[in-house]
């Protein structure tokens, strides 16, 4: 069966949300999904759209997606792409869908003259780690990811407003 990779649009929001929930379930993070169709429609396709979304179809069935956005390397003085999510429905894994999505993103990176394509993977996700290494990806040893969310983010923002 031929796999088709297409750019998502606002009409695809219900299937995008379904795929996000499938990804969260796989990553054992379902309790953290606050996304709704309304939020996705606004942030993905609203006045200030952020990321790009690609959908993978096998025939009429949407079997996976990739969501990515632009970043920038000051050292390279070039834009880059950060792959936030890549997900293939369990019954479609091992059929080249993840590879097809990544090939399309790599082509977009080349079209945009990007210096790099980056993403993160959970430490326990050995199937994905093996897949990424088979493509030539290497882990970024020596870097620790930091995150501000919720109250910590609000507190830091409030401190700016007070200064």
Q: Which residues lie closer than 8 Å to 89 by C-beta, 6 or more apart?
A: 19, 22, 63, 64
Catalytic residue at 146? no
Answer for the pair 82, 68: CB distance below 8 angstroms, yes or no: yes
Pairing assessment for the beta strands 117-119 and 78-88 based on DSSP bridges: parallel
φ, ψ at 18 (rounded to 5°): -60, -40
CA distance 8 to 119: 20
Just list the catalytic residues: 132
């Amino acid at each position: 069966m031929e796999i088709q990779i297409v750019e998502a649009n606002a009409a695809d929001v219900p299937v995008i949300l379904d795929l996000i929930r499938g990804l969260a379930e796989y990553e054992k993070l379902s309790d953290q999904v606050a996304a709704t169709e309304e939020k996705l429609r606004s942030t993905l396709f609203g006045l200030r759209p952020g990321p790009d979304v690609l959908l993978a179809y096998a025939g009429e069935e949407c079997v996976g997606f990739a969501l990515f956005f632009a970043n920038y390397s000051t050292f390279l003085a070039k834009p880059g792409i950060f792959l936030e999510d890549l997900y293939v429905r369990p019954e479609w894994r091992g059929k080249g869908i993840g590879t097809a999505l990544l090939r399309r993103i790599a082509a977009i990176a080349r079209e945009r003259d990007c210096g790099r394509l980056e993403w993160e993977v959970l430490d326990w996700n050995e199937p994905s780690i093996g897949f990424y290494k088979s493509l030539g990806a290497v882990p970024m040893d020596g870097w620790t990811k930091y995150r501000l969310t919720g109250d910590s983010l609000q507190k830091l923002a409030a401190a700016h407003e007070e200064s």
